[in-house]
Amino acid sequence: MTKVRILIADEIDTSAVKNFSEKYSDKFPVKINFGISNQEIINTYNDFDVLIIRSIRKSDKSLLDNVSFKIIATCSKGTDHIDVDYAKKKGIKILNAEEANSVSAAEHTLGLILAIEKNLLLSDRLVRQNKFGFYDYERNELRGRSIGIIGFGKVGSYLGNICRALGMNVYANDIDKNVRSKNQGFIFKSLNYILKNSDIISIHIPMNKKNDNFISKENFDLLKKDSVFINTSRGSVIEEKYLLNLLKNRKIKFAGLDVFQNEPLINRDFAKLDNVILTNHIAGKTIQSRRKVAENIFEQLLEICK
Ligand SMILES: NC(=O)c1ccc[n+]([C@@H]2O[C@H](COP(=O)([O-])OP(=O)(O)OC[C@H]3O[C@@H](n4cnc5c(N)ncnc54)[C@H](O)[C@@H]3O)[C@@H](O)[C@H]2O)c1
């Protein structure tokens, strides 16, 4: 039996690894070396067959040129941390977890919306500062409010269903016509309509060449003054600097951001504002999704190496 040697270079759900190893270690010996540098991978594991990573690891030409992995599997939905085109040229197959973190990401998006509309961060500060009797700040119900969801795929449509259950008016937008026919109960609107008319705008599109800076200065200028803008997709799908200016100049009410253009060294100016809530790219990362993602990657590996 030919062995398929697997290196796990980033921390992933250990119980999924344990279950996999218990069943398949004869054919798939697993080496765990969480947090190892790319240079160490090149030096030590360059004859391994499979590399398992997370989205925190850049896999560019300098890595791909110096290893002999046949498969690189990333425990994430996005693959923008990997030079996929170059990997393809070199015959390296890329695996990612398509489904496993959509629920977590949609729930996190709702968490940001609720934190903003209920003003939870301020309320928490007031209680800590012994200002329990201070109520002079805005809090809103979600029922009856409108949310425009740009990108109605796995995360966007799940969020759409949650928002509908909360009694919100959901406007959907997607470039794929099949998405519209799959979601016939939803009202699809143009991008401009959504930007001009929604109380809350949430973006859920993938990062690719076409979507680079997709929500541009001109698009941002269409937002209502009291609108809330949420991004849990990828930092580069919006003109981040322009959003920063809008927030600074109070041209929109609030933003909720889980993703940034230059992670982890994000634009620190966001941290100076009190009308944005920031999370550290955790939308898709929960105990449950981590497990599902790792299990999904192992299932795909078994399928491919059958
Ligand atoms: N922050 C996190 O931890 C986290 C977790 C999961 C997913 N994500 C990100 O969220 C985004 C959505 O993920 P998904 O699983 O729903 O992807 P998906 O592929 O299921 O859905 C994306 C949808 O966007 C549509 N789309 C693409 N470009 C568009 C455009 N310009 N205008 C309108 N629609 C467009 C596509 O047709 C598709 O239906 C991705 O960027 C993904 O990387 C982030």
Asked if 275 and 247 touch (Cβ cutoff 8 Å), the reply is yes
Asked if 16 and 294 touch (Cβ cutoff 8 Å), the reply is yes
Q: Is 138 a catalytic residue?
A: no
Q: Give the active site residue among 11, 180, 263, 291.
A: 263
- For residue 283, what pLDDT band results from cuts at 50, 70 and 90? very high
Position 212 scores a pLDDT of 98
What separation in Å is there between the alpha carbon of 113 and the centre of ligand 1?
18
Mean of the pLDDT values across residues 112-138? 98
Say whether pLDDT at 306 is over 90: no
Q: Please work out whether the CB of residue 234 comes within 6 Å of at least one atom of ligand 1.
A: yes
Measured CA to CA, the distance from residue 126 to residue 134 in angstroms comes to 7
Q: Whose CA is nearest to atom 41 of ligand 1?
A: 206
Q: Please work out whether the CB of residue 205 comes within 6 Å of at least one atom of ligand 1.
A: yes
Asked if 52 and 10 touch (Cβ cutoff 8 Å), the reply is yes
Mean of the pLDDT values across residues 142-157? 98
Q: Of 75, 131, 67, 115, which is closest to residue 98 (Cα–Cα)? A: 75
Averaged pLDDT score across all residues of the chain: 96
Q: Of 76, 79, 43, 28, which is closest to residue 58 (Cα–Cα)? A: 79
Asked if 81 and 280 touch (Cβ cutoff 8 Å), the reply is no
What separation in Å is there between the alpha carbon of 71 and the centre of ligand 1?
24
Q: Is 263 a catalytic residue?
A: yes
Q: Could you state, in order of their start, the residue ranges of all structural domains in the chain?
A: 6-97+287-305, 102-278
CA dihedral 230, 232, 233, 239 (to 10 degrees): 50
Position 184 scores a pLDDT of 94
Position 248 scores a pLDDT of 98
Position 78 scores a pLDDT of 83
Position 2 scores a pLDDT of 86
- Superfamily of the domain at 102-278: NAD(P)-binding Rossmann-like Domain (3.40.50.720)
Say whether pLDDT at 160 is over 90: yes
Position 1 scores a pLDDT of 65
What separation in Å is there between the alpha carbon of 82 and the centre of ligand 1?
17
Please give the structure tokens belonging to residue 32. Answer: 């765990």
Per-residue pLDDT of 184-240, as tens digits, reads 999 999 999 999 999 999 999 999 999 999 999 999 999 999 999 999 999 999 999
Per-residue pLDDT of 259-281, as tens digits, reads 999 999 999 999 999 999 999 99
Position 171 scores a pLDDT of 98
Say whether pLDDT at 56 is over 70: yes
Choices 3.30.1360.120, 3.40.50.720, 3.40.50.300, 3.40.50.1980: CATH for 6-97+287-305? 3.40.50.720
Does the fold of domain 102-278 match that of domain 6-97+287-305? yes
